[in-house]
A and B are shown apart, each in its own frame.
Chain A
């Protein structure tokens, strides 16, 4: 009989991994001072203070608007993009794919700055527009609508990864049957393909909505000057508002963000109720044919190019321009200020090479290690109806309720104050723990979805012929879910490569990552060198992705 002890064990370990930091946050929210301070006393006043602060409610309102905007725009666009890339014969698919992953990897701060340089009030597009049409441009890069658009468009790749992974395993027999019966490509897409990948769409919608709640970088740079705050930047204010950092205030805001997970997860469970019907990997041999788009393929191609332009080319061109000039704006002529100095200065900084190595190590090896963790937890909750796995659904989102800097602080505290962990407090290992914790819901969902696509009959066939659970996992589930596993690795790689704030407190000497250098240069006013570093980073990572996709990490069969 099946021994389910190991499942409970893994789920309990995962729960502990998640609940330790969450518990610390809850405790901190009821204290008057840092939990390790002798002056700390218990209180509920902090909750009252935050709830009565109009700044909190306006930040909450802005956050909800952003979240809804992200779901309304990113989910349909991401799903459509996935369909076009995976199931149709749209031209240019081979070189578009690496480009899609770029926004995932680009630091939001760099992205936002790129927009300011290209379409800000002094941006070169704005200047050309004014010269061309004689009037000030109709857009304002610092406005709320612009923020919603930027945030939504840059989160299309997140949805894309989930939906495209699911789409790669959908066999064509059902679609072909529909086409043979006279359905147009649109009918096939909406009536056959869409329902089959519905779990992935639903899950990515919930995750994207949740990402909206902890969004920090883009609102921080684009909302900085007008003081328009979202929950994460509102929370960050408490780092300086009262003089010394007010952890209890930050903890209370995090608790409120965590409370949002409840309705979101309930919504998700409702959407996935009949998830069993979506297994697409069955016992029959199948082939995936592409849906021919006919004359629509050029329209689709143009649409994708427009999106790529808005999300990749526009900001990157801004950053690239900044990296080759000494100064910019309508008051200077570009040809007077061109220089390669910023790249030379970059070569002079000794930490650059080490930070690139650390980043690649953490992203590549760390990403793989995280993948193993996600796969283990995924297998433990696979096809399990026990209460513990239902609870896990709620728990996994909780770590992401903490914006990066709070998550890093909390993991730092746990390493610092738990005696057996203390020696490793400032190490790449501790940073890996923080990253894995914070991105847990994303990697885990990707992996779980892939596992649920494996037809039940395949596992049962293996069981019936005598395979134990480990054998079934090794020979049936994991190989068939390899798209999901590879996608999760790629996602982890990209997210870890751009991470910065989560690791601030866990960085020792020698652990610097690329984000560290970027922020350091920025803070010192060396925006020019920071821009050249961002360009170098992007080229290195984009090149790496393109190479990987060419060589072996094929995300399709």
Chain B
């Protein structure tokens, strides 16, 4: 199908199709959009496709792509899944070579995403849905949060009973120290050195409260295991090899809890860090209008409903109902939820010297527990 990549060939093919088929109606402009949006849609349909580089796994994003195809049948989504750090490498390399193929970049690595705004890769675009999403969930009309994902704790209820499972960091630290022998080698969390997301979550913890550090000492005391892969951690917790997982990203935790009745999720009661998968439309986009239409779809009521209820990625739009939504979470947990602010401060997390300082502090706290 690589001949379709040749623009002239593709355009003539589209022209042929348009001439020979009775013209299908242009997709409808959603209610409340600016009057000239129909033109944007028409241009997007002429472009025919949107190239999205993202780190959300195919299995999760499938319902979103399928529904977008139904809403806008003439716009094909070329979705390429790449892990966060490699995604950044690829985007920055392609941009430097003037060969950026991505029209939209969507990643859960909030710090690296903002770096792209800083590097001028993100285009400015005021989304048609901007008024419908929380004010703090985007910045400068250049970067938009699509999801609202709590960072939770996970435990295997056959190893740790529901009654004894701690629900705050301070109580978890205390409980681990009291049950040192029983919990030896049974606690799992991200390795902040080898997992970008792991570092980001735990540095957000450190900013929110000093309760993190006694917990790290407790990790040292129980010989906690440090991973880079969420999937591996959840698998071992399910199997009972580990009993407790700390700072597991919400959607995956809830997904596992659905499949395995032994695995239960705890939304920490002292504070819960909330992450968001951030999307940018690229300045060098070859299908700029299609990218805008896709972004607006992701933030629209229809798109967010799929994001929350079918993709289980937690919708950020307040008027979407369901469990995996900001509305559902806020109703249940209220002020405990602490979303990470989207702005230039995000880049603090990717400064080498502060990171090395943090790792030293982390290593010292771990050692203190042994």
Contact = CB atoms under 8 A, between A and B. Distances in A.
The B interface, classified by DSSP as helix, strand, loop or mixed, is helix
A328 B239 contact: yes
Interface string B222-243: 0001111111101110111100
Given A34-B92, A240-B199, A529-B59, 4 more contacts: A225-B188, A239-B85, A330-B240, A505-B89
B210 interface: no
A504 B57 CA distance: 14
B57 A524 contact: yes
Contacts of A120: 239, 241
A239 B86 contact: yes
B158 interface: yes
Interface residues of A, number: 60
B364 interface: no
A510 B235 CA distance: 30
A236 to B, nearest CB: 8
B96 A36 contact: yes
A412 B178 CA distance: 52
Interface of A: 34, 36-37, 120-122, 221, 224-227, 236-237, 239-245, 247, 326-332, 349-351, 405, 409, 412-413, 416-417, 422, 425-427, 504-505, 507-510, 516-517, 520-530
Contact of B226 (A225, A326, A522): A225
Interface string B72-107: 000000111111011011101110110101000000
22 contacts: A34-B93, A37-B96, A224-B227, A224-B229, A225-B227, A237-B193, A237-B194, A242-B350, A242-B356, A243-B351, A245-B88, A329-B238, A329-B239, A329-B241, A331-B262, A413-B93, A426-B101, A509-B79, A509-B80, A520-B81, A525-B256, A527-B231
B349 interface: yes
Nearest to A509: B78
B355 A224 contact: no
B88 A349 contact: no
Contacts of A224: 226-229, 232
A387 to B, nearest CB: 36
Contact of B193 (A241, A328, A422): A241
A524 B226 contact: no
Contact of B58 (A225, A237, A326, A351): A351
Contacts of B240: 122, 329-331
B329 interface: no
B260 interface: yes
A36 B92 CA distance: 9
Contacts of B60: 524
B5 to A, nearest CB: 8
A505 to B, nearest CB: 5
A326 B259 contact: yes
B227 A327 contact: no
A122 B351 contact: no
B350 A425 contact: no
A80 B228 CA distance: 39
Interface in B167-200: 188, 191, 193-196, 199
B238 A327 contact: yes
* Residue from A121, A349, A405, A521 whose CB has the most chain B CB atoms within 10 Å: A121
A505 B256 CA distance: 30
Given A416-B99, A505-B90, A526-B59, A241 B231 contact: no
Contacts of A329: 238-241
Interface string B342-370: 00000001111001100000000000000
Nearest to B223: A226
A508 B52 CA distance: 11
B255 interface: yes
B19 interface: no
Contacts of B58: 349, 351, 517, 520-521, 524
A349 B355 contact: no
Given A36-B96, A225-B227, A327-B239, A241 B89 contact: no
Given A329-B238, A520-B81, A245 B89 contact: yes
Contact of B355 (A241, A331, A350, A508): A241
A245 B94 contact: no
B235 A527 contact: yes
B3 to A, nearest CB: 12
Contacts of B235: 525, 527
B1 interface: yes
Contacts of A327: 238-239, 259-260, 262
Contact of B231 (A121, A239, A245, A526): A526
A210 to B, nearest CB: 25
B236 A122 contact: yes
B111 interface: yes
B352 A242 contact: yes
Contacts of A226: 225
A522 B355 contact: no
Contacts of B156: 331
A328 B156 CA distance: 13
A243 B225 contact: no
Contacts of B350: 242-244
A240 B232 CA distance: 19
A349 B78 contact: no
Contact of A36 (B97, B188, B231): B97
Contacts of A36: 92-93, 96-97
B264 to A, nearest CB: 13
B86 A240 contact: no
- Would you list the 5 A-B pairs with minimal beta carbon distance, nearest first? A243-B350, A329-B239, A524-B57, A225-B225, A509-B78
A523 B57 contact: yes
B62 interface: yes
A327 to B, nearest CB: 4
B112 interface: yes
Nearest to B109: A240
Given A422-B99, A527-B231, A245 B85 contact: yes
B252 interface: yes
B238 A409 contact: no
A244 B82 contact: no
B50 to A, nearest CB: 11
Contacts of A520: 57-59, 81
B252 A525 contact: yes
A416 B241 contact: no
A525 B255 contact: yes
Contact of A412 (B93, B229, B232, B262): B93
Nearest to A416: B97
Nearest to B84: A240
B234 A525 contact: yes
Contacts of B238: 327-329
A422 B98 CA distance: 10
A521 B62 CA distance: 12
A243 B355 contact: yes
A241 B92 CA distance: 18
Contact of A243 (B81, B111, B230, B239): B111
Interface centre among A245, A330, A349, by most chain B C-beta atoms within 10 angstroms, is: A245
Given A240-B193, A243-B349, A413-B93, A332 B262 contact: yes
A243 B2 CA distance: 36
B227 to A, nearest CB: 6
A405 B90 CA distance: 12
A357 to B, nearest CB: 12
Contact of A505 (B62, B86, B159, B188): B86
Interface string B124-147: 000000000000000000000000
B51 interface: yes
A530 B228 CA distance: 18
A417 B101 CA distance: 14
Contacts of A243: 111, 196, 349-352, 355
Contacts of A526: 57, 59, 231
Nearest to B90: A505
B123 to A, nearest CB: 20
B284 interface: no
B40 interface: no
Nearest to B356: A242
